[in-house]
Structure 1
Amino acid sequence: MNDDDFDPPPEAPEPPPDDACCGSGCDPCIWDSYNALMTEYRAKLAAWELREAARQAAANGQ
């Protein structure tokens, strides 16, 4: 495997500390921002899983 083949899974964003939300109804709240990052992460992870499955199928001659 060369560097061009290196395709690590995406890293999940770190959740904010529980006390990061001030509770005053900020728009966006820090949790809104985190949820947006998680949505992006899930999409990237799904795409990576498809690439990984295709890569493994190709490696197994399928």
Structure 2
Amino acid sequence: MPDPDPPPRRPPEPDAADCCGEGCVRCVYDIYEEALERYQAELAAWQARHR
């Protein structure tokens, strides 16, 4: 039976080849940082539920 409340999964870090190096407003690294912040918040909430 699968875990009904599995821990969140860390977003994969972009590969250096994923960035074009042109200084895009929404660079893949910006998107990753936003996903990482969401992950950290979700992880903290999950850890609080599992204490």
Structure 1 CA distance for aligned equivalents of residues 13 and 44 of structure 2 = 20
Identify the structure with bigger relative contact order (alpha carbons < 8 Å, sequence gap 6+). Answer: 2
Per residue, is there more helix in 1 or in 2?
Answer: 1
Larger Rg: 1
Deviation at 1:37, TM superposition (A): 0.2
Under a length normalisation based on structure 1, what TM-score does the superposition of the two structures give?
0.74
With structure 2 as the length reference, what TM-score do the two structures score?
Answer: 0.89
Is 2:28 the counterpart of 1:34?
Answer: no
In structure 2, stretches of 5+ residues that fail to align are none
Superposed counterparts of 1:1-62, under 5 Å: 6-53=4-51
Q: Detail structure 1 runs of 4+ shifted over 3 Å in the superposition.
A: none
Deviation at 1:38, TM superposition (A): 0.2
Q: How many residues align?
A: 51
Amino acid at match of 2:4: F
Structure 1: give runs of 5+ residues left out of the alignment: 54-62
Counterpart residue type for residue 13 of structure 2:
P
